[in-house]
Amino acid sequence: MDLSSRELQVAGLIAREYAEKEIADKLCISPLTVHTHAKNIRKKIGAKNNVGIATRYLLSLDQPKSFIPGMFFLLLQFFMVINASDVDMRKPMNANRVKRVKRYVV
């Protein structure tokens, strides 16, 4: 990746799931600066979101095998975010089915 040293720091913290405000506090810079760095990173590496930044950052490391568990959970989180809009989490999936019980009058 052809990123500046500060952009590499920001990408590393994004890969560790820090929010922009947390990254700003950790690096002692403005949250707007962090947002600008993240935007520039996405533009340079062709990522659409923070998951893309994290994936490309982890794969660019010298020893990405040490981050395989992190990648697994990152991809799991990505697929959960994609599929969450299809599922209404507040009610069970079979809540639409109404069971009718026949009652016999004696």
On whether residue 21 sits in a domain, the answer given is: yes
On whether residue 105 sits in a domain, the answer given is: no
Here the CATH number for the domain that contains residue 35 is: 1.10.10.10
On whether residue 100 sits in a domain, the answer given is: no
Half-sphere exposure of 53 (CA within 13 A, CB side): 25
On whether residue 97 sits in a domain, the answer given is: no
State how many domains the chain has.
Answer: 1
Q: What is the pLDDT of residue 102?
A: 72
Best CA proximity match to 81, nearest among 41, 43, 50: 50
Q: What is the pLDDT of residue 66?
A: 62
On whether residue 94 sits in a domain, the answer given is: no
On whether residue 104 sits in a domain, the answer given is: no
59 band by pLDDT with thresholds 50, 70 and 90: confident
Determine the structural domain holding residue 14 and report its residue range. 5-83
- Report how far Cα 8 is from the mean position of its chain's Cα atoms: 18
